[in-house]
Amino acid sequence: MTETEVVPAKLTALLEAFDGITDTEERMSMLASYAGKYREVPPAIAVRPYPEEARVPFCESEAFVWALPAPGGTLTLHFAVENPSGVSAKALAAILEKTLSGAKAGEIAAVSPDIVTRLFRQNISMGKGMGLMGIVQRVRDLARLTLRGKSTP
């Protein structure tokens, strides 16, 4: 496995679907529907208070990420968003779980934080956008740690 693999096909397909949405209301509705599908990390993996090493730095929505190695060099991703008003963070967490969880670590490591811009366009503040990019970056960092044989939170 390397970090130069292409991103998971599920994510590519979803991004292309979002690229085709030109209506702002439709885009927001789609993102909100993903937020409704957000699933918090199961207690078997982590319970509150969540460990600081799983926290996404500079995410005002108080997001946490876990990446657990699974057979075949894949990763299972889990998320928690502690800010109840962090709807955008929940939407992104649900999207990442749906499209990246179960993919190979190398594929996940190839995902760029720029996907936040493709998903949310201008419907987000710079600060929140950078916080969301931090979630993607955290997922990518965990995948890279796995590739290097290091344990992840």
Partner 1 sequence: MSAISERKYVHPDVLVSTDWVEQNLKNAGVRLVESNEDTLLYGTGHIPGAVHVDWTIDLNDQVRRDYITRGGFEALMSRSGITPETTVVFYGDKNNWWACYAFWVFQLFGHTRAKVMDGGRLKWEKDGKPLTKEAPAYPKAAYRARERDDSRIRAFRDEVMKHVDAHRPLVDVRSPEEYTGQRLHMPNYPNEGALRGGHIPGAKNVPWSMAVRPDTGEFKTASELESIYIQGAGLKADQDIVAYCRIGERSSHTWFVLTYLMGFTNVRNYDGSWTEWGNLVNVPIEK
Per CB under 8 A, residues contacting partner 1 are: 24, 28-29, 31-32, 35-36, 58-60, 62, 85-88, 91, 122-128, 130-131, 134
Query: Measured between alpha carbons, how far is 130 from 103 in angstroms, rounded to an integer?
Result: 24
Nearest to partner 1 of 44, 126 (CB atom): 126
Q: In the complex, what is the shortest distance from the CB of residue 22 to partner 1, in angstroms, rounded to a whole number? A: 13
Contact in structure between 46 and 66 (CB atoms under 8 Å):
yes
Nearest to partner 1 of 6, 24 (CB atom): 24
Token reading at 122: 């201008």
Q: In the complex, what is the shortest distance from the CB of residue 37 to partner 1, in angstroms, rounded to a whole number? A: 12
Query: Measured between alpha carbons, how far is 49 from 146 in angstroms, rounded to an integer?
Result: 24
Q: Who contacts 101 (Cβ-Cβ below 8 Å, separation ≥6)?
A: 75, 76, 77, 78
Q: In the complex, what is the shortest distance from the CB of residue 88 to partner 1, in angstroms, rounded to a whole number? A: 5
Nearest to partner 1 of 29, 112 (CB atom): 29
Nearest to partner 1 of 76, 117 (CB atom): 117
DSSP code for 124: S
Q: Three-class SS of residue 48?
A: coil
